[in-house]
Structure 1
């Protein structure tokens, strides 16, 4: 396991890890903390051992599982399949204390399906808040289109996860879920809101889509079962990446100490998305 530390205002706020190329899996950020040191990610929890902090995870790329765990098969349900892919670290274009630029290869069945260019940057916002700017571009290196799906597109309603995903810590009480104009998990889940937030015990995470395409992607939100937020690439219908084409997404996450109200969360989002 190779790790890279991320710093903000002289404090370590994140650890980024990637596995050796020979192992299945994906790079991920964990632990990520507030400036006061409160952990706001969780990795390999007992309820979903394939949840890895903050990462890019897709359950169906042309039938290959880059999420982990079982694969949802139409008419059959969650099924153990030998179809797991790996996001292989190829090298750094930039590697500084406040961010990095990385090249990765998405491989399955001995072939490269996608080449990823990933940029992660840390931005200080206040004495109690900072932002994690996470963007990724996926280029289809093959000669035919690649279809990206989800359990929802494969027959499981409401399970349109896949893309940027953040697993937060599970606490005795579920987090408060709210958005720019909506309140509660049921209302926020599946919406294409400008931003969504989870507020836990002494911390708040605010997730904002930072490009036009990202803002059109529905949010996948869990609070009661477990705390997690993702930006869905294929929430309702499959998404095809044409041969030679590139898919680009960018999510900026505000990591704050304390409980933010809607006005403060919105003010932070306006700063980080327009920066």
Structure 2
């Protein structure tokens, strides 16, 4: 079979450029996802954080296909904010967010309750030119060393250069192993107004402060806090070259409580979190698995509300495709599969 053009050896013997998506495993530290050889994101699964910061896996840096960074790591105002990370501040009395815990009638109090989400093993590391997929097992461990939850986590990355965008599908199923119900909430369920954060949390670059927020029904800024919508987008500008980028977060229709409430800020800093525990606690019964799935579409340019809606549709399609590939007899998710302890 005749090789493709990009597989033909160069006359000078130079290595041909990488094409499509790639996966690089930094053993016992991180996974790097690339597109045409350039890093899109790094998933740090064994962080080196202090216990105060509730060590847990995170995606950082997160970059657009054009190479612009759209995430922030360990900002001085909240050192436990790290790129994109599954983070929960109120898991019963435990804190899997980092820092102080908000207590009704007392406010924020630093307690010895900052737990960790600890990587156990990868069940799948699959790389193909059109998709990278990962399946992981984790334990949620209290600061005292007790395992309260077991989590099965997966994520899938696809790229769409024609749209100038790529998509991260993130899914989690976590099971209570304590023998008693654990109520999962937020500072708002403890009495702090409009502080319902907890879930898949993104912290944006400093230059994104003052950015624009788009939903199916509206656009604005901080006043979008707490809205319910099937998707929410955030557009911001970069320092130095004045380019823009848009991130569209999509709540899977099968998620409990869909459409989700959104925790979003634009003024003091840029952040978005689909927050399923925003205004009401969700009990996790013993042996019960709670499941949530999201898509995050990362695009170059300010796509405005109409363009964000198109990206949301693309994200929804990727959620459906990821579910189909994960099903028995599914598609490309089996290519390149390895098990890594």
1:117 to 143, 149, 152: 152
Unmatched tracts of structure 2, length 5 or more = 1-27, 238-243, 322-341
Whether 1:245 aligns to 2:288 is yes
The alpha-carbon distance between structure 1 residues 172 and 64, as it changes in their structure 2 partners (threshold 3 A), is closer
CA–CA distance in 1 between the matches of 2:48 and 2:224? 37
For 2:167 and 2:137, the matched residues in 1 are separated by 22
Residues 74-223 of structure 1: matches in 2 within 5 Å? 74-97=104-127, 98-108=132-142, 109-127=144-162, 128-171=164-207, 173-201=209-237, 202-213=244-255, 215-223=258-266
Pairing 1:6–2:41 present: no
Structure 1 portions without partners, runs of 5+: none
**Do the aligned partners of 1:175 and 1:198 also contact (CA within 8 Å) in 2?**
yes
Tell me the distance in 2 between the aligned counterparts of 1:261 and 1:200: 11
1:257 aligns with 2:300: yes
Q: TM-score, normalised by structure 1?
A: 0.94
Instruction: Specify the alignment match of 1:48 in structure 2.
Output: 78
Cα offset, 1:119, TM superposition = 0.7
Secondary structure in 2 matching 1:113? strand
The aligned counterpart of 2:271 is 228
- Give the distance between the partners of 1:21 and 1:271, measured in 2 at CA: 35
Find the counterpart in structure 1 of residue 98 from structure 2.
Answer: 68
- Does the 8 A contact of 1:205 with 1:255 survive in 2? yes
CA distance in 1, matches of 2:48, 2:225: 35
Q: Please, what is the CA RMSD of the aligned residues? A: 1.8
178-187 or 67-76: which moved more?
A: 178-187
Change in Cα spacing, 1:70 to 1:164, as seen in structure 2 (3 Å) is same
SS in 2 for 1:89: strand
Matched residue, 2:314: 271
Distance in 1, matches of 2:47 and 2:223, equals 40
- How many angstroms apart in 2 are the aligned matches of 1:173 and 1:216? 26
Are the aligned partners of 1:53 and 1:167 in contact in 2 as well (CA < 8 Å)?
A: yes
Tell me which stretches of 4 or more aligned residues in structure 1 moved more than 4 Å: 20-23
| 229 and 38 in structure 1: CA distance in 2 versus 1, 3 angstrom threshold | same
Q: How far did 1:262 drift? A: 1.8
TM-score relative to the length of structure 2: 0.77
CA drift at 1:89: 0.3
**Partner SS for 1:46:** coil
Considering fraction of residues, name the structure with more strand.
1
Q: 1:36 aligns with which of 66, 71, 81?
A: 66
Q: Secondary structure at the match of 1:268?
A: helix
Whether 1:18 and 2:61 are equivalent positions in the alignment is no
Q: Aligned in 2, Cα 1:22/1:200: closer, same or farther, shift over 3 Å?
A: closer
Which segment drifts farther, 71-80 or 17-26?
Answer: 17-26
Alpha-carbon distance in 1 for matches of 2:58, 2:156:
14
Contact kept, 8 Å, 2:214 with 2:308, in 1: the verdict is no
Decide whether aligned partners of structure 1 residues 22 and 171 sit closer, same or farther in structure 2, where only a CA change above 3 A counts: closer
